[in-house]
Structure 1
Amino acid sequence: MAHRTRAEARALREEVLRLWAAGSLAPEIAAGLGITLNYASVILSNARRARDQRAAWRESPDGRAYIVPAGRGAAIPGRPWTPKDLVPPKRKRASRASDAADLARREAVLEAWASGRDSREVARKMGLRKGTVTMIVSRARERGDPRAARRQHDPAAGMSLSLRRALDRAARLHGVTVTVPEPRP
């Protein structure tokens, strides 16, 4: 692999910064100069750290995607650079629609849990992971929600589904048969 001389590296850095300041995107710059996208990004990042105005942050023209802003990262005329200038803008908080959907999902999980279903069954019915269901229930329990009460197995009601599964698995894997005595009247 041929290494660049310092002069070549400096000229490449200047060209990356010139193209970025002209409005080109990092993938376009990398492809046009025959370097990797990571290398172009490192050049821009180091230039921002050195407070080079040509490497200022900018947003995409459609306003949807955050690229990195002309005007936001650039120094305001008459004012020196500050570290705050290099911080990208905060991302917008999730919409209220997604908050409402999350609330509805939590309510549905808690209602199913309160009706006696176990976490595996709730997860399967709602298309969630078992860990998600148990986390929703445990957080609701911490908040004091009565629907998230702990359930103790009642031996008089017979074997719990989870115990039955564990015993079936032991029989399948190890060839053991476990007998559970019937409760006495």
Structure 2
Amino acid sequence: MKARRTRAEVAALREAVLDAWAAGGRLAAIADTLGVTVSTVARELREGRRRRDPRAAFRYRCAGSRGIKAPATRLPVAPKARPALKARPRREAVLDAWAAGMDGPEIGRRLGMRWKTASMIVHRARRRGDPRAHRRQHDPADGPSKWTRQTLERAARRYGVTVIYSEDRP
């Protein structure tokens, strides 16, 4: 069985990879230096980017770097100013609606998006720790959930059984 790294070893490896990447090393050179595979180095870089470590920043090739030739006829042009993206206000609107008690399909209808997109925004905000994206679970003390009631009523219609809820009992 292959031995696994401890958390301390993984943290030390990640720090070494990120330091070498920030110093300008290439994936293969970092892997050779540390005695790991290139995919391990890439995985640690992805984890560093997920944790928003500035040492794991992407590197972009530009004209003048090895392997890319500058176009001879085009002059460098400043990029056009782009309008602000709508993602942040839309995300804020979804999270505010979720905090107000709306569910995914209702948010989707009101904001003109798919309900799965609204649920995904809430899920990602929950992972980031946004307090507005709290998980809503049914409290059993309030009786059966809406989904359970619908399922039982459907079974009652289909099979002709009588459904008795605990709060209906004398």
TM-score, normalising length: structure 2: 0.43
TM-score, normalising length: structure 1: 0.40
Indicate the structure whose relative CO is greater, using CA pairs within 8 Å and at least 6 residues apart: 2
